[in-house]
Amino acid sequence: MKVQKKVSIQGDWAKKGEDIKNEDIITIKDSGQIVSGDYGDRCVFKVETRNGEKLLTFNQTSINYLIDAYGDETSHWVGKEVKVWIIKSMIGGKLKDVIYLTAPDWVEGEDGFVPPTGKKIEDKDIPVINEESDVPL
């Protein structure tokens, strides 16, 4: 039988309502690490909170938002500020506070959090040329 070493991470964990509150701006301090646990792998980052450096697990939705804002290389996230959104969500049949992270200037939209222009990051401003325009083809 092959077994795997379980890695745990030591340090102070950020507490909702104490170290981080809704709409706080926190700073990412490291490029994170993947930690295996009883419920699967977690992406854990060191962040600067109102009460100093703490550890925080970034959920996949937050990671997706940060990829849109800062790219897919977490080493580029170091030193970046992020906005904390604490939203009540149904988890396991109970309403729980869930932390989401975005770029500081993002706003709450109908489909989640979006850049302030309302555009998705991947949208490009591509001019549309139609037959009635004066632009030569």
Tokens of 37: 């646990």
Q: What letter represents residue 117's amino acid? A: T
Nearest-angstrom CA–CA distance, 133 and 46: 54
86, pLDDT greater than 90: yes
pLDDT of residue 31: 97
| Domain ranges across the chain | 25-114
Reported confidence tier of residue 117, pLDDT bands at 50, 70, 90 = confident
User: For the residues 97-110, what does the mean pLDDT come to?
Assistant: 93
Does 113 score more than 80 pLDDT?
Answer: yes
Reading the block at residue 95, the tokens are 């309403």
Output the DSSP codes for 18-76: TTB-TT-EEEE-S--EEEEETTEEEEEEEEEETTEEEEEEEPHHHHHHHHHHH-S-GGG
* Residue 47 C-beta-side C-alpha neighbours within 13 Å: 25
Long-range Cβ contacts of 111-114 (<8 Å, 24+ apart): 112/61, 112/65, 113/65, 113/85
